[in-house]
Chains A and B, each alone.
Chain A
Amino acid sequence: MYKIYTTKPGIRFRLSHKILLIMRLTTVILLASLMQVSAATFGQRINFDRPNAPLKTLLREIRQQTGFDLYYDGKIISENQKVNVVLKDATLSEALEKTTKGLNLNYEIDGHTIIITRLKEPTLLDKLISRFKAIGVRGRIVNIDGGPVSGATIKVIGTKNFTYSSADGYFFLSDVAENASIEISYVGYQSKLVPASADLNTIVLEIASNNLQEISVNTGYQSIKKAKMTGATTTVTSQDLEKRYTPNILDNLEGRVPGLVNYKGTTTIRGVSSFSTNARNPLIVVDGLPIEGSLANINPYDVESITVLKDAAAASIYGIRASNGVIVVTTKKAKGKGTSIEFGADVTLTDKTDYTAYNYLTPSEQVDIESTYARWLFTNPTSGAANIAATTTQINNGITMTPITYQYYQFGRNLITTDQLNATLAGYKQNDFRQQYKDNALLNQLLQQYNLAIRNSGEKYQSSLVLNYKRDNTGIINAYNKQLNIFYKGTYQLSNRLSFNFGVNGILGKIKASNSSFAANGTNVSPYLRLLDQNGNRMYYNAYNTQISTTPQLQSMMFNHLDELGLDIKQTDQYFTRYYANMAIKILPGLTFSPQFQYENSVAKSRAYSESNSYIMRYLHNVYATRSGTSPNYNYGNLIPDGGKLATSEQTTNSWTARGQLDYNKQIGRHEISVIAGTEFRESLTRGTNGLLLGYNDQLQTQATTGVNFPAVSALTTTSFFKPTFNTVNLYNTYIGDQIGIIPEVRQRSNSLYANAQYTYDGKYNVFGSYRKDYADVFGLDKQYRGRPLWSVGSAWIISKEDFLADIKWLSFLKLRATYGITGNIPAGLSSRLVANSTLPVNAVTQLPVSIVEASGNPLLRWEKTATANVGLDFALFDNRLSGALDWYRKKSSDVFASTRIDPSEGFTSQIINNGNVLNNGLELSLQYQWFKPENAAGLFWSTTLLISHNNNKVTYVDQVANTPQLLTATGSLKTGYPVNSIFSYQYAGINSVGQPQWKKADGSFSTVALTSSDLNSVIYSGGLDPKNNVAITNEFNYKGFSLNILAVYYGGAYQRAMQPNNISSPLYGSMPSYLLNAWTPNNTNTLVPGFGQYAPPAILPAGQMLNSDAFVVSSDFIKIRSFALGYRLPGSLATKLGTKNIGLRFQVNNPKALWIRNDVNIDPETGTAPILTSYVFGLNFNL
C-alpha cells in the first residue's frame, strides 16, 4: 500500500526503516542519481491538467499514478501552497522536476520512494560540511494528558545517535546535523518524526492503541515486530493494563485477549486439549524464562507488556509445554536518564457476604418447617413413642439433633408445656444467626496495595527497584493476607558488544486464617440460634450428649464461632525468591550469543495452632478419653495429652533454568533474515514435611508429643463411651495421622534444543519456521519417542503493501497469516518406567513395609501432541480508526493421555496410554473503533473494543471407560463426540404417587432404584461446562483529564448443575435450603423436590442419582459489567505545583449486579451460588 508520509502524527514504523535506508543511500550521490535515471526509465507516465492546484493534491496525484511512496516533512509544504503545473505523459523525474521548480524543494527517488526535502543538500561536500554544523537538540516529550513520557527513544534518523527521555520527559541530544530528522518513539505510542532544531519544545506523543506495525511481540525467546509475526498473538501493554486495577494480572486480561478464557478459576487458551486436569494451564513466562511460581505473584504495577501466544507458530518454541498456550510477561525497565519515582496505591473494598442471596430458608421458615416435622415425629400416635425412645438412645450416643427437635422431644416426654414450647419457638423466630455472624464475624474485605518504583538510568547502567506491599483482611475477623514484593534489577552496558542483566525478586507473604473447619462459616448452625445475646455476650450452642454432663472427665462441647475464630488459627509464611542473570554478547555483526540463568526458590511454611480450649481439642480430648473398670468406680484416662496442637508443614520448591541462545539478524537489501537457536535445561525439585506436636502450649513453649502412644491412638477406631459406636478413622486421619509425614520429593527435569528462522522479503512476505526437540525425565524409555521433534511453519503476507491496493485509501493495513505446527503437553504424575509406590502404609497384617506397582511401565509413553492450524487476518481501516484481527483455528490434540481398558490378565484393568483425541475449533475476532479522536489532550476520545471468541471443544476419541450410569454421570467422565468437560445426567421422571423420586430407564420405564449398566443409554448429555462463546465489549472515554473504561462481558453456551434437592429426611443442624418450601407432600405433588421429614421418600434414594439429574442442569449464560473505572488525571500545571510530574486518581466498581443471567434458580453462574461480591477500588498514583 502506498501513502503519503508526513511528519504529522500517524507515521508508522515502516518509515523509520525506509528513512534508514534512504539516508545511507543519499550519502552516495552517484548511486542516487543512477536510481533517478532508472526510476525515470521504468516509471509510469504522469498526466495532470489542473492549473493552480494545491501542491499536496499534485503530489498525491503523482503518487497515485506512479504507485511510488512519497515522503516529505509536513513543515516544508504548507496546506495552501499552490502550483501551476500541467503534465502530459511526463516521466516521474520530469514531473517532479516541474513540480519542485522554484519551490526551494529537492526530490530524491529511492527505489519506490520519493523523498521531498528542502533544497539544501545537493552535494557530498555540503553533506560533509553539514556534519560539522552539528547542533544540540533539546525538548520534552509528553503524552496526550500532558504527563511526561520517560524512556522514549529520541533518535537521529540514519545515525546511531540516540538518547532516551528522562523521567520528566526531557531530553538532550548532541551532535545532530542541522537538517536531520529526529524520530521519537515509545512502545505503545505512535512514533513521531520532526526536523531537528535546537529547541523542539514540547512534543506530544499519541497513544498507538491500534497501530499494528508499531508493537513488538516478545515471545520470551526473541522480540519480533508485530508486522512480521506469522503466528496468532495478542499483546497487551501497560497502558491498557493500567486502565483498570486488578490485584491478579490474569484478571486484567479479561476482555483483552480473544481466545483466553478465565472462567471459574481456570485459565484456558483456545479450549481444553487434555483430559488431565493438571495439564490444562498455560505456560507462564516472565522476562524470557518460564516460571514455576504463580502469575498471582506478578506485581501488577510492574508489567510492561503481556503477550499471549496462541497458535503453534507463536508457541512452538516452547515445545512440550506449549499446547495450552503461553503467557509472556515482560516487566518494566528503567528508561530515560536520571532517576524517576512512581508511586501507586489502590484500595479495594468489597461488600460483605450476603446470606440472603444463598437460597436458604429464613430462620422463621426453618422454625416452621422443623416444628411441623418434630411435632409429628414425637406426638403422632403410631410411632411417636418409638421415636422418643430412639431419640433418647441417640442422645446417649452423642448424635446431633437440632434445638427444635430437642424442644419437641422434651415436649413429647411431657417435660415442657405447650406454652413453654411456643414461647421458645417464638423466641427462635426472632433470631437470625446468619445476620449476627455477618455483623460480628465478617468484615468488608479490604485489600490495600501500594507500589513504589525507583528507576535509575545512566550511560552504562540502568536499575529499577520496585517495592510492592499488599494487605488483605480477607473479609473475616482475626485474619489477614500480607505480601511484600521486592524486585531489583539492573543492566550493565559493559561495551558495545557486551551487556549484562540481572535481577533479584523476593516475595514475603504472611497469611493468617482460621484453622477451624466450622468457625469460618455462618451457615453451619441452626439459623434461629444466637451468636450473641441481647447484651452482646457470646452464646454457646451444640448438640446434646448426656455423657458430658455426667462425666467431669469429659470437656464441654459447646461452641461459639467468635471464640473459635480466635482459638484455632493457621499462619502461613511464604517466601519466594527468583534470581536471574543474562548476557548478550555480540560475537560478529548480526550474531549475538546470550546465555541466561534463573533460579527460583519457593518455601511455604505453615503453623496451625489449635489452643487447648478450642473446640477441636476438646473434641479430640473427649473422643480419645478412655474409661475402664465398672460403674461407679471408673478409671479415666486419655490417649492424647491435655493442651493444644501444633501442626506444621514446610514445603520447598527449587527450580532452575539455564539457556544458551544464538541470535542472528541480517538485512541484505530487501531480504531480512533472523535466526535463533539454543538449548535449555530445566529442573524443579519439590519436597517437604508435615509435623505435629500434641500437648502444645504456645505461651509456655511446652509439648508432650513424646509421651503419646500413637499406635494406641490409631488403634482406637471405635469410641465406646463418649460417643458410642463413633468411628474415629476419619477424625484420626484428618487431625493426627495425615498431619505427620513426608510430602514426597518430586524432581523433574527437561532439556530442549530449539531453533527458529524468520525470513522477510521486501517487508511484505514473511516466512517462519521453528523446530524443537524436547527431553523429559518422565518419557521416552523407547528410543523412538525420545526427543520427538515439535515444529511449526508459518507465513504472513502484508497485502496492503502491494501495488494493486494502492488506490484503496480507506485500507490502512491488511495482513494475512497462516500457520501450522505441533506443540506438546505433559500431564504430571506419569512415568514410562515400571515403578512401585513406596510411600504407602505398611502391610496391616505383618506390619512390614510394602510397595506396589501402581501402573505398568509403558515405554511407549510420550507427550501429548497438538497440531494447530491457524489462519488470521490483521487489518486497519480508515486511517487506523477501525482495526482488528480475525483468526480461525483448528487444534487437533492426539496422543492425549487417556485410560484404556485392558484384559485384567495383563495385571491392570486399565492403562494410561496415549490414545485420546480432542478437537478444538474456534473463531476469534477483535475489533476496535475510535469514534472520536481528539486533536489535543483535552479533547473527547471514545473508542470501543469488541472481542468475540468462539470455541467448540469435542472429544473425538476416547476408549470409553464409563460403563455404568454412575461412572458416566460422575464429574470428569468422557465420551466420544462430546466436550471434555461435559455434564451427563440421569433423566429425572419426577416423583411418583407415594412420594418416591424416579428416573427413566433405557427402555423408557421408570425406576426408583439405582440404574445399572444395562441402563447406560438412559443417561443423556446435558451440555458442556465450559463456555463456547465469549464476548467482551470495552468502551473507553477520555475528556479533559477524565477517563472512563467500562468492560462488559458475555459468557455463553455453558451449563452447570445447580440447586439439586438433596434428600433431607430430618432437619439439619445448620441452614436448610429454601427449596424445602416446595417439597413433596400428598397435597403438593406437582414438584421435583422430594418430600421432607414425614414425607421423605419411602425408599432410600440411589446415591448421586438426584444430584446428577437432568432437571437440575441450568444454563450458565450471563452478561455482566465486569468493571467500571473512572479516572482523573490532574492537569499538568496543577501536578507540577504539587511537586509531582503527574497525579492520577481512580475510582472503579467491579462486578456490579449482573445485567442478565439465563437461569431461573437464582444463582450466579460464575459461583454456582450467590453473586460475586461487588467491590470498589480507590486509586492514586503519581510520579516524582
Chain B
Amino acid sequence: MKKIIYGVLTIVFLFLLPACEKFTDITPKGKNLLQNVSDLESILNYNYTLNGSVQAGSAAGKTTAEDAFVFDDVNVLIDDIYPYVQNVTTVITAPTKTLNYAFLTSDETVDRKSLAATDIKYSKLYFIINNVANAVIASADNAAGDRSKANQYKAEAYVLRAYFHYMLVNFYAKAYNPATASSDAGIPYIKEDNVISEPNVKSTVAEVYSNILADIDAALQLNSLPKTNVNTMRAGLGFAYAVKAKVLLSMRRYEDALAAANQSLEINNTIEDHRTYEPVGDVPFIKAATAVGENLFYASGAVSGPSYRAISLEITKNYYEPGNIINKYIQPYYEDEGGTDLNGVAGAQVWYTFDYAVNSGGLSSIDCYLTKAECLARSGATQNINGAMAIINSIRQKRNHPTGYTPLTANTEQQAMAYLKKLSRIEFLYTYKNYVNIKRWNTEDAYKETISRTINGVSYQLKPESPLWIFPFPQNATNYNPNLTQNY
C-alpha cells in the first residue's frame, strides 16, 4: 500500500516540478523588460533636464535629471556666480559654515565632506550611467529586432557612459595630468556588468580616461550612430566626436583632439548669430531646448534657462566684452538690476528669462570650436595661431554688436590662449565647463591662475592647487562604500 502511495506521489511531484518554474515565469505588463530593440529606445529617451510639473523623486521624476545639471556649486567656486538666491553677507557671517560659504570664500578649512550629505551630481550621473547607458548596453545584443537600431542604441549608450564619467572624474578627482594620472586616484568606472552587492572600486584617473576613450571607440566602431542625433537629448555622431575631442584635449593629446573636433564640426558647424536677436536684430531672444542650432547634446538644469542666477561682478567687469549683445543689449536680467533682493550684491546681474535654454551640461559646436582653437594655438605639429584666432573671431563676431566689433590678432600661443580663455569663460557661463577648463589649465604652469573675488571689501582667493578644486564624495556614498576615500 505504502509503496503505491509513494509511487503515486513521486510521479505526481516529478511531473509537476518543471511545470512550477515555467508556470511562474511570466512577463509583467506595464514594464519594459528591455527584450526588444524598441524597448531600448524609450530607455534612451531620458529627459536630461528638470521637469517642474513632476515631483522630484517620484516615478515620473526619475525619468528626468532633476537638478543634476544645475552647476551652482561649481560656478560659485570659480566665481562665475553668487550662491543661488542667498544673501552673500548672510552666507559669510552665519555661525554655521555651509558648503556655499566654503565655495564663496575659498575657505579650505571647512570640512566639506561632513557637509556633503548628498550630491545630486554624483547620484544622478551614476544613475544615468547605470540605468540608461548600462541598461541599454547590457540588453542591446540580446534584444529582438532591427540589428542596426540595436547597434545605434548601444553606441549611443557607450557615448553617454563615456561622457558622464568624464564629467564625474572632473568633479571628484584631480584634473588629468599626464605625469601623475596613472597614480592619481579617480572614480569608479561603472560598466554594464556591475554587481550591486559589491562595493565599487575607484580607478585611477588614467584608467578612467582610458575607459572613456575605449567606450567612445566602441561606439564609433559600431558604425551605427546617426550623423545628426534623433533629437537634442540623444547622442549622435557629432556628439560622439565632440566628447572624444573634449576628452583628448583634457589629456593634452592636441593632435587627436583636433582631428575629433574637426570631425564633429563637419557635422555641425553652427555658430548662433546673436546679432539677429532683438533689440539688435528682430528675432525674439528665444531658444528652445529642442532647437538643434549649436547643440550637439542638450542637458541642463532646466529648459527655461538658469534663472535667478546672479553673475559675479568680476565676470561682468572683466570678461564680458563691452559690445556683448546679451549682456549689453538684450539684458535678460531681473528688473531690480542691483540684484540686492536676492544676493545682497549691488550691481550683480540676475538672469531672469525663461525662454532661452542654456545648455549647461551638454555639448555644442562651440565646445568643438574652442577645442579646435586651443589645439591650433598650442605649440606642436598642428600649431596655427592665426587659425585659432580666426575661430575665436568668428565666434566673437556673432556675439558682439557690429558697431563695436574688431577682430583680434595674436602672435604667440600665450596671447591666443588668453583671448580663448576670456571668450570661453563667457561662452560657458552657467555650464560646468569653465570649472573643468580652469582646473585643467591649472595643471600647467603657463596657464594656472588664482581666482580672486571681492565681497564687502574683502578679497578671497582660490589658488590653483587648492583642495577645493576636488569635490568631496557625498556621505551617502562614502558611508556605504569603504573603497570610496576622498580624493583631496
Contact = CB atoms under 8 A, between A and B. Distances in A.
A and B co-occur in one complex: yes
B49 interface: yes
A856 interface: yes
Interface string A770-781: 000101110010
A777 B22 CA distance: 9
Interface string B126-144: 1101110011000000000
B135 A846 contact: no
Given A588-B1, A787-B20, A843-B233, A852 B131 contact: yes
Interface of B: 1, 4-5, 8-9, 12-13, 16-17, 19-21, 23-26, 28-34, 39, 42-43, 45-47, 49, 51, 53-54, 59-60, 62-64, 117-118, 122-123, 126-127, 129-131, 134-135, 187-188, 190, 194, 196-197, 199-200, 231-233, 289-290, 298, 303, 474, 476-481, 484
A838 B42 contact: yes
A927 B59 CA distance: 52
B128 to A, nearest CB: 9
A905 B25 contact: no
Contact of A747 (B29, B45, B54, B190): B29
Given A851-B39, A907-B126, 6 more contacts: A786-B21, A833-B33, A843-B63, A846-B290, A849-B42, A906-B190
Given A660-B12, A679-B16, A744-B29, A841 B480 contact: no
Interface in A345-391: none
Nearest to B290: A845
A846 B45 contact: yes
5 contacts: A747-B28, A837-B32, A846-B45, A850-B63, A903-B199
B157 to A, nearest CB: 13
Contacts of B187: 905
Contacts of B134: 907
Contact of B25 (A777, A841, A845, A846): A777
B32 A835 contact: yes
Contacts of B474: 904
Contacts of B117: 963, 1013
Nearest to B25: A777
Contact of A860 (B118, B197, B199, B480): B197
B265 to A, nearest CB: 25
A911 B20 contact: no
A853 B126 contact: no
B342 to A, nearest CB: 19
Given A836-B31, A838-B30, A838-B31, A843 B8 contact: no
Given A840-B59, A843-B47, A909 B5 contact: no
Interface string A948-984: 0000000000000001000000000000000000000
B43 A836 contact: yes
A963 B476 CA distance: 10
Chain A interface size, under 10 / 10 to 19 / 20 to 34 / 35 or more: 35 or more
B29 A836 contact: no
Nearest to A727: B53
Given A777-B24, A852-B62, A717 B53 contact: yes
Interface stretch (A2-10, A507-515, A621-629, A749-757): A749-757
A115 interface: no
A905 B135 contact: no
Contacts of B51: 844-845
A745 interface: yes
Contacts of A904: 122-123, 126-127, 474, 476-477
Interface centre among A662, A675, A839, A848 (most CB of B within 10 A): A848
B27 to A, nearest CB: 9
B23 A775 contact: yes
A591 interface: yes
A839 B1 CA distance: 57
A710 to B, nearest CB: 15
B355 to A, nearest CB: 14
Contacts of B484: 903, 905
Given A662-B9, A751-B24, A851 B32 contact: yes
A729 B60 CA distance: 15
B46 A902 contact: no
A848 B41 CA distance: 10
A751 B5 contact: no
A664 interface: yes
Nearest to B47: A843
B23 A681 contact: yes
A786 B51 CA distance: 41
A282 to B, nearest CB: 23
Given A837-B32, A906-B200, A664 B5 contact: yes
Interface in A813-857: 831, 833-846, 848-854, 856
A906 B24 contact: no
Nearest to A900: B480
A908 B127 contact: yes
B131 A841 contact: no
Contacts of B54: 841, 844
Contact of A901 (B28, B32, B480): B480
B47 to A, nearest CB: 4
B296 to A, nearest CB: 15
Contacts of B17: 753
A746 interface: yes
Interface in A432-489: none
A1016 to B, nearest CB: 11
A858 interface: yes
Given A662-B8, A852-B46, A834 B476 contact: no
A753 B32 CA distance: 31
B43 A852 contact: yes
Contacts of A909: 118, 123, 476
A845 B123 contact: no
A338 B484 CA distance: 81
Given A751-B20, A777-B26, A843-B63, A906 B130 contact: yes
A906 B480 CA distance: 11
Best-buried of A780, A849, A905 by chain B (most CB within 10 Å): A905
Contacts of A850: 42-43, 45-47, 63
> Which 9 pairs from chain A and chain B are nearest by CB?
A907-B130, A744-B30, A904-B123, A903-B481, A836-B32, A853-B131, A851-B32, A835-B31, A745-B29
A539 interface: no
A742 B29 CA distance: 11
A907 B338 CA distance: 42
Contacts of A963: 117
A677 interface: yes
A848 B32 CA distance: 15
Given A749-B23, A853-B135, A904-B123, A846 B233 contact: yes
Contacts of A591: 5
Nearest to A831: B28
A197 B131 CA distance: 84
Contact of B480 (A831, A835, A851, A902): A902
B231 to A, nearest CB: 5
Nearest to A742: B30
Contacts of B289: 845
Contacts of A852: 43, 46, 59, 62-63, 131
Contact of B196 (A744, A776, A835, A856): A856
A892 B405 CA distance: 79
Given A843-B46, A852-B62, A753 B20 contact: yes
A903 B200 contact: yes
Contacts of A840: 59-60, 63
A184 to B, nearest CB: 34
B29 A901 contact: no
Contacts of B231: 846, 848
A279 to B, nearest CB: 18
B122 A905 contact: yes
Contacts of B26: 747, 749, 777
Contacts of A755: 9
Contacts of B476: 901, 903-904, 909
Nearest to B138: A834
